[in-house]
Structure 1
């Protein structure tokens, strides 16, 4: 192992803590909207009686457009030139638009047909996700450029990841709130009222990054084909399309970036793929089919994991400034592998409380992943600029998070098929076969362990160390004539 070279963060490269918090508000808004629309969609089934299959389609179909809209929004943001910058206008307007659309989405009129509700919500969801992309993609890109420092980027992403976790603490209460009889007459009315409250929060704090944060590259030069030209409008449009496709292809061919995407896909979706298995193993193996007691311990484990994620983010942020991002990824992912492995021994019918032991260790997986990866992508953007003379924060951010969303959708779908291969039969209740129980336990452990170990191998070949990032920065600043 080569000796690690450490560079201290210069005072001028530090982001004031209050600015980190303001950027973190964007993470809270981002996660709150994602959790809200995913958790509240159950109203269509329980409150309006819609077929669950149609509800599933409504949850999945609008996300397919992200493959197109996310990179396009990234390109638009990268190539915007305005007195307010490349990102801030979209963040400001996007927060307002997405808040309004979210409220309208849940004002579901009474007494309509299932077909009416399906098309109302489907069309509304497409509009919502367009507004969501308008806000989220520039916000992600803004974070990549707030500081040029290798370690300060990790501190920033640690703060935003920490703040974003709070959304997942409040989201599980949404179903309770919508059914709370003291406030609402029914669940549909509850969804309409809750959407207003969520929109107020989104609007109030979502615009703050646009108001208070300063872009470093708002006047950045680009090789935009039509910039400053007097070409006919049709040719300008064609040139921009060609430029978008070229930038998209360049991003997808950039090997260091593909390694980050692959590692993220493996760690995140290795977890998502077996997310439901943990509940099945706890209920049907540890508690012998007792769904009430099993669900209680599923809740205990989930709550403990969420609390520990906050601590993991702080630890990962700190240790990364000492040993670098790549080695921290090895450490955090390795600890999560240990946690997944311990499930084989700690999920014990004779000692049920032992099942809480792996939860803090498994929290290192996702807690470390979404602290380190955004920081590493910021380094990727610099490396790409050194080679291409263009900055593509928006394009890199949009493609990275689209890979995450695509993988999550695929993993959630594949998880059901994987469960079927175990031979699990809900009709058997507590009388599942020994083979089914064994395979559920095996998948619950091996799938995330294998995926995480492959991810460690992928990142072992990742080339941007702290020393290399420092050299890239020096070369860029010399070329720009800045310090």
Structure 2
């Protein structure tokens, strides 16, 4: 059992939340700009570009549970998780700077290979940062409400980080232009990754870590136990489907701005519309969760997210402000689907630890982050397939003329497809059964 740990101090909340500067920046910028970088700057075909975006993240399906298992077994005066934050985060920053720094040697094969290898490095480093980071709340506090409060702080910082990184990244790219614009953007985001790493590492140095509890059994045995946890399984399926939907929507923003709205600068505005509402509605989602329960809040947030995706469908035929409004609705739902699952995962892990007497938070988190990462990676890959089906023309000229079918595909990929995925996720989330009373009994 964990020691009795309830409300944590503001310093720990802020310190933990600062890690979202790293997770938010890496979790969103590649999804927003890597596919356009490949198709419209390096001139790589959409199908090949989609594979390059997908394959490194698919590696995390295997790697993340391993990272979780390693951090579960690690013992250190600094806590079982914190040492991995520093190593993984700084490695991620270095690899990210290289990701968008492809030398111009005139070879598409070389360009593709460089991006693939650098993205593999990013995915590997991120696994060893993200998995221990997300596992920490289950060990910092055993209070059901405090975990939601911690997640609301985290989402607030996450929102600011995404606004800064996702909003400035296209602006930096466009201000400088070409490959140099992407290089400058890569270095800027790498600096944000380093800031988030140091913030989380030093900010949580006084956080409780719970009683040291040895893990038992092999990784395969623990994965089997986790797979048999019904509440975790349904929560994970919901997460993957929604990450796939969000990944597809984010991948489409740059294409929508340039080819449908015919204003490259609209990418930054649309991205801010998606992320910006979180600064206003995070407290609202927190209040809804506290009053009606996390599951009810999650269902409501999912419904709003799906409604926003549907509202994007007529983007080719309505004024630009209507498209911005639709993306803002997406943003309101997006905030909720960030808050609630991150607050529900520690509950599942803590109940399992209380009932089994074994620390498996890292394994739970490893599988969780693998699912989220895979979904966010599959999203752009799925979007690339929709573009290819619509006859999208890849070119080193970012002003290439696109056929009408490609314009339709650009909209469908970030509206109809995500809406269908979110609708399916409802069926999985409805089967989640863990209650607040069960979590309190496990304390």
Q: What range is the shorter-chain TM-score in?
A: 0.7 to 0.9
Q: Structure with the greater relative contact order (CA < 8 A, sep ≥ 6): 1 or 2? A: 2
Worse-superposed segment, 360-369 or 151-160: 360-369
Q: Matches of 1:432 and 1:108 in 2, distance apart?
A: 31
Structure-1 separation of matches of 2:97 and 2:252: 34
Instruction: Quote the Cα distance in structure 2 between the aligned partners of 1:398 and 1:49.
Output: 35
Q: Which has the larger radius of gyration?
A: 1
Q: 1:97 aligns to what?
A: 91
Aligned to 1:456: 426
**Could you say which residue in structure 2 is the equivalent of 1:60?**
54
Indicate whether 1:18 and 2:29 are aligned.
no
Equivalent residue for 1:198, pick from 189, 197, 215: 189
Moved more, 55-64 or 39-48: 39-48
CA contact (8 A) 2:275 2:335 kept: no
Q: TM-score, length-normalised on structure 1?
A: 0.75
Give how far 1:407 is off.
2.4
Helix, strand or coil for the counterpart of 1:207?
Answer: helix
Deviations 1:334-374 (CA, angstroms, capped at 9, x unpaired): 33444455567x86947664444444433333211111101
Candidates 294, 315, 318, aligned match of 2:287: 318
Q: Please point out which of 199, 205, 230 is paired with 1:208.
A: 199
Q: Aligned equivalents of 1:176 and 1:159: distance in 2?
A: 27
For the structure 1 residues 59 and 14, does the alpha-carbon distance in structure 2 shift closer, same or farther, using more than 3 Å as the test? same
User: What is aligned with 2:396?
Assistant: none
Aligned partners of 1:369, 1:256: CA distance in 2, in Å? 17
Unaligned 5+ residue runs, structure 2? 394-399
**1:245 aligned to 181, 197, 220, which one?**
220
Q: Within the alignment, does 1:224 sit opposite 2:216 as a pair?
A: yes
* Aligned counterparts of 2:439 and 2:111: Cα–Cα separation in 1: 52
Measure the CA separation in 1 of the matches of 2:357 and 2:351.
10
* SS of 2:240 mapped into structure 1: helix
Q: Give me the whole-angstrom Cα distance separating, in 1, the residues matched to 2:369 and 2:324.
A: 31
Structure 1: stretches of 5+ with no match in the other structure: 1-10, 226-242, 284-288, 474-483
* CA RMSD after TM alignment: 3.9
Aligned: 1:394 with 2:362: yes
Please list, as runs of the form range in 1=range in 2, the aligned pairs for 1:375-454 lying within 5 A after superposition: 375-417=343-385, 447-454=417-424
Post-superposition offset of 1:246: 0.6
Match of 2:298 among 313, 329, 344: 329
Partner Cα distance (1:335, 1:54) in 2: 33
Q: Distance in 2 between matches of 1:121 and 1:343?
A: 31
TM-score (norm 2): 0.81
1:373 matches 2:341: yes
Residues 1:272 and 1:389: Cα distance change in structure 2 (over 3 Å):
same
**Deviation readout 1:175-197 (Å, 9 max, x if unpaired):** 4424645xxxx744554454444
Q: 1:260 aligns with which of 232, 235, 240?
A: 235
